[in-house]
Amino acid sequence: MIDTIIFDFDGTIIDTNFIIERGLNLFSRAYRGTRLSPKELEQLTGRPLFDQMAAIQPHRAEEMTDRFRKWYAQRHDELTQAFNGMDELFEDLRQLDFKLAIVTNNSREGVQMGLEHLGMNHLFQAVITCDDVLEKKPSPEGVHLALKLLNARPEEAIFIGDSSGDLIASRRAGVVNVLVGWSSIKRELLLTHQPDFIIEHPLELLEVVSLMEQQIA
């Protein structure tokens, strides 16, 4: 029986694609004098903030990380929102008594800011951030920790995300994965990781759960 759903956060629940792209290009222009190429943006998507800053200017990554966090906090509520259909999905999942978790490479401060902005603080029984693990995704450490906190087994869970790190981490943890069709990363790159399911709208996740239940039965 599927009773646990683990979500990535940025690019899966909350649409931070625009603010992240804008911020990365802003800091790239400021610290190296040029915008990022589309390929560079793809390569940086989903990576921890410090790693993103180090890719732009390795010798000033710590300073850039602090400045980016301040800039991000100032612009966050203006430039982010939940993806269309997420509110309805979480209402359905709540009524069906699913155990819900987030596993993200974002910081606890960043995730808390987003959850408060979306009014979703109360929905998740576990929130695992980069501050809670030694190894970030694609390591399965965060997924394992979420399962432990929710007292769930891998075969009882689904992981939904938008990046290669999500697909790799969930597979290493033995959890079925679902790729979102609204990822900002080129789909052909993500398909090389052979996601178990792909959905084009949040409410299609319930169809995946139903299909898996039928397969188990």
Q: Rounded to whole angstroms, how far apart are CA atoms 64 and 84?
A: 32
Q: How far apart are CA 112 and CA 109, in angstroms?
A: 5
If phi over 0 gives left and psi between -120 and 50 gives alpha, with beta otherwise, what is residue 40? alpha
Q: How far apart are CA 91 and CA 86, in angstroms?
A: 9
The Cα diameter of the chain in Å comes to 58
Q: How far is the C-alpha of 140 from the C-alpha of 181, rounded, in Å?
A: 22
**Given 3, 8, 92, 166, the catalytic residue:** 8
CA 140-180-35 angle, to 5 degrees, is: 90
Question: For the chain, where are the E strands, in sequence order?
Answer: 4-7, 14-15, 81-82, 99-103, 126-128, 157-161, 176-180, 197-199
Q: Does the annotation count 132 as an active-site position? A: no
Other CB atoms within 10 A of residue 106 CB: 24
- Give the residue numbers marked as catalytic: 8
